[in-house]
Amino acid sequence: MIKSLFNAVSISFFLVLSSFSLASEKAIIDPSARFHPLVSDRGMVVSQEMLASQVGADILARGGNAVDAAVATGFALAVTLPRAGNLGGGGFMLVHLAAENKTVAIDYREMAPASASRDMFLDAEGDVDNKKARYSMQSSGVPGTVAGLLHALDSYGTMSLKQVLQPAIELAANGFKVSMDLSSSLQARQQTMHKNPASKEYFYKADGAGYEYGETLVQKHLAATLQRIAKKGRSGFYQGKTAQLIVAEMQRSGGLISHKDLTSYRVIERTPVCGDYRGNSVCAMPPPSSGGVHMLQMLNILEGWDLASLGHNSAAYIHRLVESMRRAYADRSSYLGDPDYFPVPVAELTDKQYATELREQINLAKSSRSADIRPGLDNRSAGKESTETTHFSTWDRWGNVVSNTYTLNFSYGSGISVTGAGFLLNNEMDDFSAKPGSPNGYGLVGGIANAIEPGKRPLSSMTPTIVFDKSGAPILATGSPGGSTIITIVMQMLLNIIDFDMNVAEATAAPRIHHQWLPDRVFYEAGVSADTLQVLREMGHQLNDKTSRLGATQSIQSDSDGAMFYGTADYRREGSGVAIPIK
Ligand code: DON
C-alpha cells in the first residue's frame, strides 16, 4: 500500500519540478503533503520552501550527509524564504550522529551587543517602547546564523563550504521565481519594509511595487555576501566588507552592534535536554530555549493519564493539555533565561515528581484561572504581530539526523536590511523581557531571568526535537515556527504520533490548540468540534473568539531500523515541501 502510494506521489510531483527555475534531476519534491507522507529509502529534506528542500536533497544525492544538506538548505532559505530564512538572525540545530550514537545541540542564538542595557527599551515614563524594541536598529541582536551553520559544517559535515553554498549563491545571483507565499508575505509587510530604503530596494521592484507570483527575484548584494562567506568562511561575514557594512548601518541609525560584537560572537555546543516519554527518549533544545524544558515538563504531567483512551481532541483531552500548558508557561515566566547568566533549574522543572505534584493540582472537571497559578517551584523548596520563524529537518541514509529552527523573530525581522549586504536584520532583542511583567511580541512575560544584559541571549521558544524509540533509534525529527506557540505545537506532534498512533502526515494535519498561562485564553484551530468547544466553555475555559492557525511543522519520521523515511511539510504555510534524492 505504501509502495503504490509512493509511486503515485513520485510521478505526480516530479512534474512539479519543471515549473521551477532551479530544475534538478536529482530530487523529487512533494509540496505540502496532506494525509500521506512522502516515502523514501534514501534520505530526505523537509523545509518551508520547496526550492530550498530541493537544494538539500541534491546535496544528499551527491553523497553529502544530513549536516551538509542542512547547511545547504539553511543558506538556500536565506535566499528563497527571506521572511524567516536568514543570515541576519539566529537559531538552534540538533544533530544526531549515527556513528557515535550522540546528539548535540548547537546554539547559534543572537547575543545582545556589549552596549545593550536592561532598560534600553523603556521610555521616559518607564514603559516599554515597543517600536524601539521591534522595528529599530536597536532591535537586533548580534547575528549567529552564519557562525552556527559554519560550525555545524566544520564539525559534522563532509563537504566543502563552497559546495554547500553554491546553490544559494546561484539562487541569489540568477534569481528564482517568486512563489505565492513570497509575493503575499512581502505585500503584507510592505508598509514596514518601505520605510527602509535598502529593504525597499532588495525586495520590491524599482517602482516600489511588490513582486507578483512567477516574477523573478534577483538578489545581487546577497549573492556577493554569500560569495564572501564561501571564500573566507566565518570572517567573510563577521569581519571584512560584510562586517563593515553592518557596522556602518548601525552607526547611521543608532544601532549598537560593533566590530567587537561581531568578532566575539560565539557558537555554543550544548547537551540537549532529554527525557523519557512512554518509553521513548525525547531530546530537544536546552536553555536559552525554553522549548525542551517545558515540552518535557508538560509531557511528564500528561504521562500520568491514559490520553489515548480520552480520544484525540476530546474536551477531556484538551482540558488536560491546557492545564499542563498553563502551569509550564507560568514557570517559564520566572525561571527561564540564558543559562550563562541565570541559574535555570532544568533538573527541577523536568523532574517527574514535580510533574506529579502539578498533575495532582489539576481539577479534571473544571478549568483553573491563570490568575491563581503562580510559578510552581516557588511553592517547593527551590527557588499581535505577524510572525515568522522556520524549521527544517534532514535525514541521511546513514542515520544522521538534523532538526533545525532559525529565525529573524518577526516576519522579515525588523524590516531593516543592511545596505550593500542584501540581508535583513533580526528583531530578536524583543524576545528579552524589556520590563518585568510587560508582554513581548508574543504576549510572553518575564522577569530578571530574561532581562537584557550585554552578551546575553534572549530566551527563545524554538524547539527543534528528535525522538528516539526504546532501542535508541531516531524515529522522528520535527520543529515549528510560531513564537510562544512553538512548544505546544511540537508537543502535540509527539502526542499525535506516540499516543494516538498517527502517521506523520496525520499528526501534522490534526487541529492544534494552545495556551500560554497569560493571556488566560485557549487558542484553537479550525476543526476542533463545536461540541468540544462547548464542553470546554462549560468547564470554565476562556476560548479565543476566533480560530488561529498554529505553526508549520516540517517533519521526518523513520522506522526503527532506519530503512524508510516518511516526510511531511506542513500545509499551513504555502510553498513548503519534502524533497528526496533520487540518484
Ligand atoms: O525565539 C523565539 O522564540 C522567537 N523569536 C520565535 C519567533 C517565531 O517563531 C516567529 N514565527 N512564527
pLDDT of residue 312: 98
Q: Specify the residue with its C-alpha closest to ligand 1, atom 10.
A: 388
Query: Residues, the chain, total?
Result: 583
73 touches ligand 1 (CB under 6 Å)? no
pLDDT of residue 279: 98
413 touches ligand 1 (CB under 6 Å)? no
The region of weakest confidence among 99-103, 294-298, 387-391, 500-504 is: 387-391
Question: How confident is the model over 229-256, as a mean pLDDT?
Answer: 97
Question: How confident is the model over 546-556, as a mean pLDDT?
Answer: 97
431 touches ligand 1 (CB under 6 Å)? yes
Percent of the chain exceeding pLDDT 90 equals 89
462 Cα: distance to centroid of ligand 1 (angstroms): 6
Atom of ligand 1 nearest to the CA of 109: 1
Edge to edge, the sheet with strand 387-395 lists 27-31, 577-581, 44-47, 387-395, 401-410, 90-97, 102-108, 268-270
Q: What is the pLDDT of residues 5-18, one digit of tens each?
A: 233 233 223 222 22
Q: What is the pLDDT of residues 481-493, one digit of tens each?
A: 999 999 999 999 9
Band (pLDDT 50/70/90 cuts) for residue 333 is: very high
Band (pLDDT 50/70/90 cuts) for residue 386 is: low
80 has a pLDDT exceeding 70: yes
Atom of ligand 1 nearest to the CA of 458: 1
Our answer to whether residue 389 is catalytic in this structure is yes
Question: How confident is the model over 522-536, as a mean pLDDT?
Answer: 98
Q: Specify the residue with its C-alpha closest to ligand 1, atom 1.
A: 460
Q: Measured between alpha carbons, how far is 102 from 99 in angstroms, rounded to an integer?
A: 8
286 touches ligand 1 (CB under 6 Å)? no
411 touches ligand 1 (CB under 6 Å)? no
Q: Give the predicted TM-score (pTM) of the model.
A: 0.94
Q: What is the pLDDT of residues 552-575, one digit of tens each?
A: 999 999 998 889 999 999 989 989
Residue 269 CB coordination number (10 Å): 13
Atom of ligand 1 nearest to the CA of 290: 3
pLDDT of residue 31: 57
Q: What is the pLDDT of residues 109-132, one digit of tens each?
A: 999 999 999 999 999 999 999 999
Each as own residue / partner, the long-range contacts of residues 361-367 (CB below 8 Å, 24 or more positions apart, any chain) are 361/327, 362/301, 362/320, 362/323, 362/324, 364/316, 364/319, 364/320, 365/539, 366/539, 366/540, 367/319, 367/322, 367/323, 367/536, 367/539, 367/540, 367/541, 367/542
DSSP 366: S
Domain borders along the chain are 3-269+388-450, 271-383+462-568
25 has a pLDDT exceeding 60: no
pLDDT of residue 1: 27
Q: Measured between alpha carbons, how far is 394 from 60 in angstroms, rounded to an integer?
A: 9
486 Cα: distance to centroid of ligand 1 (angstroms): 8
269 has a pLDDT exceeding 60: yes
389 Cα: distance to centroid of ligand 1 (angstroms): 5
Which residue, among 391, 333, 314, has the nearest Cα to 567 in the 3D structure? 391
Question: How confident is the model over 158-180, as a mean pLDDT?
Answer: 98
Question: How confident is the model over 267-290, as a mean pLDDT?
Answer: 98
Q: Measured between alpha carbons, how far is 388 from 106 in angstroms, rounded to an integer?
A: 21
pLDDT of residue 19: 27
225 touches ligand 1 (CB under 6 Å)? no
3-state secondary structure of 404: strand
486 touches ligand 1 (CB under 6 Å)? yes
Instruction: Judge whether 464 and 547 are in contact, CB under 8 Å.
Output: no
Mutate to test the pocket of ligand 1, among 86, 108, 293, 461 (most ligand atoms within 8 A of CB): 461
pLDDT of residue 384: 45
Instruction: Judge whether 296 and 332 are in contact, CB under 8 Å.
Output: no
pLDDT of residue 36: 81
Q: Active-site residue among 242, 350, 387, 389?
A: 389
Fold of 271-383+462-568: Serum Albumin; Chain A, Domain 1 (1.10.246)
How would you class 74 by CB atoms within 10 Å of its CB: exposed for 0-12, middle for 13-18, buried for 19 or more? Answer: buried
